Amino acid sequence: MKTVLITGANSGFGYGLSKSLLERGWRVIAGVRNLEPRRHLFADLDRTYSHHLELLELDLEKPSDWDRPLKLMSERRIELDCLVNNAGFGVFGPLEDISETQLRKQFEVNFFGLFLLTQKLLPSLRKTKGRIINLSSTVGFTGLPLGGPYVASKFAVEGMSECLALDLKKFGVQVCLVQPGAFKTSFGANVAWAEKSNSDESVYRDEVKATQRFRSPNRKSPDPEIVIKTLVSLCEQRVVPLRKRVGKDASLAYWSRKLLPQAIYHWLLSWVFSQAQKKRTG
């Protein structure tokens, strides 16, 4: 039986992937921040797959939590075949309005927590010639208006992951970056905005308010099932690519960024956002 650790397993892609892999006979270690009040979310899965599902308190901001998977694996005498770094969140807003605390928290979770947890698990992954799947984003390869902190964290994940893939190649450990576009998950509802953006003193207040309405959780987005199916395939196929884009908007952004001159691409990006904002406020 193969074993996977999935961070941020309580919702969205993480929960869907946990369910799908359990159905396919995997042992799933589901890492969940603030587990106890969320344990009920796994009640049905636990009843059906109690011998294959391990729920684990795992907060990427807490170094003390990074050893929890190792302790569990030692107790169960299992090694890790796949690590899916799915947990993360987004801080949006202009640099002038973001607090140092917000900026550091963005990187503590999306970058430092992700890779320092991975570091702990590399010996086990080397033994199994396993794989690491890191959830990046469309904005892992392009800028975004008012997206600085989140975009920067994903650029950092992309760079470290590519280096990690080169370092681990001789051990047979594969690394894949998944770059989803916008899908219907709880991500939008959990977005944090720069502390000063809504104050009267902010020179970006109007743009931020328009973008907040544009990015509100009720925005129409595709169902996440296509991402979950892609992740299942990446967990199981023999060879994985370094990068895998998912969604029409991700492909459109990638090819536009690649083929258009930068000035035209940036103009087009700004225009698309302005039109979308007008449509939502009209």
Annotated active-site residue in 15, 150, 204, 265: 150
Q: Specify whether the CB–CB gap between 92 and 151 falls below 8 A.
A: no
Q: Collapse the DSSP code of 53 into the 3-class scheme (helix H, G, I; strand E, B; otherwise coil) and give the result.
A: strand
pLDDT score, position 208: 85
150 is a catalytic site residue = yes
Domain parsing of the chain, residue ranges: 3-281
- CA angle, 233 then 79 then 177, to 5°: 35
SS3 per residue for 96-135: HHCCHHHHHHHHHHHHHHHHHHHHHHHHHHHHHCCEEEEE
pLDDT of residue 261: 94
User: What pLDDT does residue 198 have?
Assistant: 80
**Token pair for residue 66?**
């990074």
* Residue 177 per-residue DSSP state: E
Q: What is the pLDDT of residue 215?
A: 59
Q: Tens place of pLDDT for every residue, the chain, 282 residues?
A: 999 999 999 988 999 999 999 999 999 999 999 999 999 999 999 999 989 999 999 999 999 999 999 999 999 999 999 999 999 999 999 999 999 999 999 999 999 999 999 999 999 999 999 999 999 999 899 988 899 999 999 999 999 999 999 999 999 999 999 999 888 777 777 789 999 888 888 898 888 887 776 555 545 678 889 999 999 999 999 999 999 999 998 999 899 988 999 999 999 888 877 776 666 555
Q: How far apart are CA 87 and CA 109, in angstroms?
A: 8
pLDDT at 216: 56
Strand partners, 91: 192
Rounded to 10°, the helix 148-168/114-128 angle is 20
pLDDT confidence of residue 16: 96
Radius of gyration over every alpha carbon of the chain, rounded to an integer in angstroms: 19
3-281 is classed CATH 3.40.50.720: yes
**CA dist., res. 135 & res. 130, Å (int):** 17
Q: How many CB atoms lie within 10 A of CB 259?
A: 9
Residue closest to 92 by CA, chosen among 20, 17, 10, 153: 153
Beta strand extents in the chain (DSSP E only): 3-7, 27-32, 53-57, 82-85, 91-92, 131-135, 174-180, 192-193, 243-246
